[in-house]
Structure 1
Amino acid sequence: MARRSRRSWLSMVVMSVVVMLAAGLVSVNSATVASAAGTFTNPLVQRGPDPWMQYFNGFYYLATTTWNNTITMRRSRTLAGIATAPETVVFRLTRPNAAGTMWAPEFHLLDGPNGRRWYMYYTAGREPFDLNSQRIHVAESAGLDPMGPYTFKADMLDPVQNNTWELDGSILRLNGRLYLLGTFFNGSQPAFIRPLSNPWTASGTRRILSNPTFSWERVGGAVNEGPEVIQRNGRTFIAFSASHCSTPDYKLGLLTYNGGDPLNSSSWVKSPQPIFTRNDAARVFGPGHNGFFKSPDGTEDWIVYHATSTPGGCDLNRSTRAQKITWNADGTPNFGRPVALGTPLPAPSGEPAE
């Protein structure tokens, strides 16, 4: 979720959320998806921005922005079933410095001092609607169930540039090391990388991963945010969201790791053109803030993302969508084009018949 000037951005979002509250639209409503066996249609969730999905032990798990003081999750054996799966509250925000406006939740299965656990990274701030206080936080699961229970673990603050505005926390595992990815504000909105000594503790200050320098990264605001990792055949890529989320030109760019210290921006090469953009003919606008997940049999890579059917919007009306990605001959990912809502798509490989 992008940031323009604090005052204008706050006014825009507060007005949007207040309107939705008045209309009773803040709760996420499931869209019933009628799918033939072995297929599904988008959207997976009608109001589901900033989606994160994982497949684990026979189930898909999905979390999205709620804009309130809860983190919720859906679980289903099939991708089509996500649309009608009940939302379960897996964590409630109670700390004064992170009491609400929760967005961009991600859950990662990581090895820590207490063994393997799920770590839920999320963005939240003080209430009511104090968006200038938004920071990255993390909760830890009690065991190996993605749905928890979770307990608060830490505020993911920078040890040097302490308590500054940061959003969209994600995780990179590379060369046996652990890193936090995210975005911050320094006049524009670059993506950052910070080394971790364990899933909740920084071992160094943040470094700029990518600056929004191309014209396609600066529509409505100079933004690189939501960095997400995809790895294959020993290669590491980071997809990031570019331009402001309120525009139909919100899109994805790509960084490719070329070796060396991941903390150095010179170790990453940015593709000169975006890799996933609006598709006006299909009525898909602002496709971005994505995640990646594997098919049940592990043979396919999939992208989950949000988009709108009308131009623009940084609110809960962005819907959760998914589609398969492929790989180019040179080993780089090919995301294709975002497809129209209602298009029957083959289900991920290895799904059980229902």
Structure 2
Amino acid sequence: MTPPIVNDNKAFANPFILERADPQILRHTDGRYHFTATVPAYDRIVIRSADSLAGLRDAEETTIWRRHAEGAMGSHIWAPELHWIDGAWYVYFAAGEAESATADVWRIRMYVLENRSADPREGEWVEKGQIRTPIDSFSLDATTFAHRGRRYLCWAQHNPALPGTNTSLYLAELADPWTLAGDPVEISRPELPWETVRFAVNEGPYAIVRGGRVFVTYSAAGTGAEYCVGLLSADAEADLLDAASWSKSPVPVFATDAEHRIFGPGHNAFTVDEEGRDLLVFHARAYAEIEGDPLDNPDRHCRVQPFGWRPDGTPDFGRPLPES
């Protein structure tokens, strides 16, 4: 692998934000930065905002929504993502049912919140409901991106017709921010050896369009040290809803680095610094072995580091940087 092509040697203090998995940092059109992530209690959605990227580290955290006491959206509040779409804020997240004698906390589905305030920490967050897909099954990690005048939703979902597979990645066009416009297409299935360690998982997609290509990163395998980042790509002029338009890297593009003591990097997002330079946002642990249930472990910390681009136009994420 060639060294990452970065614009300078600017580094960030890492961990960037403690105990925040599935992190996302969004730089808004006004230049302000917004951060959200999964909290270890899995019970609420939080946002912090700042005028600078570094300011997010110590910014006050605002709880914008809490889980329901009963029924749907009552447990496992996972992987929120914040997006600005047509003059409104939207949060995509996954949730199970509240614990009760008849509830299923593992009935994980995707949901959407809307807020028309200029500041996502203010105003009213309105529940727009569940994102309905043709198969009513375990689904999570919804992300959205616009390309060539069309808005897409990409997410991870279990297909009962694929025995031995936990989740594949699906893509569909959106009619509005919470409604699919048509049938989804499966663009990636966990089939390679590194995608099927402990669990056969493709999840956590995030898109970036650059140099005439559409790239979707995703995370694969179990959530321990085996967790890693894969890469899908399609020509920017191609039909993104044709599965044949997408190609997959045969190897992970970002993975555990034992020498740097960064284990299980994944569930990434992209942002830019104040000068517009590309940054990779992800979570990882600083040790390999997890005691007990990984879901009860809070040590997946948010980390940020620069990345570059290879001469062939593909992103080069380099190695996870050691803790500073």
* TM-score in terms of structure 1 length: 0.79
Q: Distance in 2 between matches of 1:167 and 1:140?
A: 18
Q: What is the aligned counterpart of 1:241 among 210, 219, 225?
A: 219
- Report the equivalent of 1:338: 320
CA shift digits 1:243-294 (9 cap, x unpaired): 111x201000100113432122211010111100111011100000011112
Cα drift, residue 148 of structure 1: 4.1
Moved more, 122-131 or 192-201: 122-131
Query: 1:205 aligned to 173, 180, 183, which one?
Result: 183
Aligned partner of residue 240 in structure 2, secondary structure: coil
Measure how far apart 1:90 and its partner are. Answer: 1.6
Which residue of the partner structure matches residue 73 of structure 2?
Answer: 98
The letter for the 2-side match of 1:194 is A
Deviation at 1:177, TM superposition (A): 1.3
The whole-number CA distance in structure 1 between the counterparts of 2:211 and 2:84 is 21
Q: What are the equivalent positions in structure 2 for 1:161-310 lying under 5 Å apart?
A: 161=135, 163-186=136-159, 187=163, 188=165, 189-245=167-223, 247-258=224-235, 259-298=237-276, 300-310=277-287
Q: SS state of the match for residue 259, structure 2? A: helix
- Distance in 2 (alpha carbons) for counterparts of 1:80 and 1:110: 25
Structure 2: 5+ residue runs without aligned partners? Answer: 1-9
Kindly indicate whether the alpha-carbon contact (under 8 Å) linking 1:241 and 1:251 is maintained by their aligned counterparts in 2: yes
Matches within 5 A, 1:67-146: 67-94=41-68, 96-111=71-86, 116-128=87-99, 130-146=104-120
Flag as ranges the 4+ runs of structure 1 deviating above 4 A.
none
Letter in 1 for 2:280: I
Q: Say yes or no: does 1:47 pair with 2:16.
A: no
Number of residue-to-residue matches in the alignment: 297
1:86, CA displacement in angstroms? 1.8
User: Quick check: 1:157–1:164 contact (8 Å CA) kept in 2?
Assistant: no
Letter paired with 2:137: T
Q: How far off its partner does 1:196 sit?
A: 1.1
Q: Deviations over 1:161-214 (max 9, x none)?
A: 2x3210101013222111211111133121111221111111123221101111
Contact 2:12 2:305 in 1 (8 A): no
Structure 1 segment 17-36 matched on structure 2, within 5 A? none
Percent identity over the alignment? 35
Separation in 2, partners of 1:331, 1:54: 23
Consecutive unaligned residues of structure 1, counting only runs of 5 or more, are 1-37, 343-354
More helix by share: 1
Determine helix, strand or coil for the equivalent of 2:244: helix
Q: Which sits farther off after the overlay, 326-335 or 141-150? A: 141-150
